[in-house]
Amino acid sequence: MTEYRRAWLPGATWLQTTPEPMEDRFLVTCPYCGEDVEIYLEPDVEGSLVQDCEVCCNPWQLRIWTNGDDRHVTAARADGSE
């Protein structure tokens, strides 16, 4: 099982990073229901995209970026209610 680190970014939900460089699985906390959901992102994906929560089906706005060997993901509400 992969271990995850968490850091808070003001104005967003949890920033998810993994301990290994360029990991493709991330633990994202849903900004609607609060459940932790593991997601898979292709290694070459960067930028932003919309993905639905597997638990409550509400849409997330995911932002994916790299910083050196680290890959980061933030999840916010995609319906504009934040």
Q: Which of 81, 80, 73 minimizes the C-alpha distance to 29?
A: 73
pLDDT digits (tens, 9 = 90+) for 20-75: 445 789 999 999 999 999 999 988 899 999 999 999 999 999 999 988 888 899 99
Can you list the positions of beta strands (E) in the chain?
5-8, 14-17, 25-29, 36-40, 47-52, 59-67, 70-77
User: Domain-by-domain residue ranges, the chain?
Assistant: 5-77
Is 13 within 8 Å of 76 (Cβ atoms)?
yes
With cut-offs at 50, 70 and 90, classify the pLDDT of residue 8.
very low
Distance between CA atoms of 76 and 52, rounded to whole angstroms? 11
Against a cut of 0.75, is the pTM above it?
A: no
